[in-house]
Amino acid sequence: MLQSHIIDVDGAFVGAAVRLDTGYRFIATDMKLDDLDGSIWPTLADVQRLARSIYSGGRSQVGRA
């Protein structure tokens, strides 16, 4: 079974991070984060930080690992 983590921003469920051998794949549930959907990040903290930044209106470059 895959391990997953809920990603929320100030109590709003915005997605999930699924643990892979290569890092964490982000699955977006909020359209504000559609550009991140399916992207892979090295750490859970990276996913959480970027999701919070984008959801809160911050500008950040989205890259896929």
**11-63 pLDDT per residue, tens:** 999 999 999 999 999 999 999 999 999 999 999 999 999 999 999 986 555 55
**Is position 64 within any domain?**
no
Comparison of pLDDT for 64 and 8, the residue scoring more? 8
**23 located within any domain:** yes
Report pLDDT digits (tens) over 43-55. 999 999 999 999 9
pLDDT at 64 over 60: no
| Residue ranges making up the domain that contains 45 | 4-55
Does residue 62 belong to any structural domain of this protein?
A: no
Does residue 37 lie in a domain region?
Answer: yes
Q: Residue 28's pLDDT is what?
A: 97
In a domain, 31, yes or no: yes
Q: Side chain identity at 48, as an amino acid letter? A: Q
Q: How many domains does the chain contain in total?
A: 1
- The angle subtended at Cα 28 by Cα 27 and Cα 33, nearest 5°, is 135
Q: Please state whether beta strands 4-9 and 12-20 pair in parallel, antiparallel, or not at all (unpaired).
A: antiparallel
Q: For residue 48, tell me if it sits in a domain.
A: yes
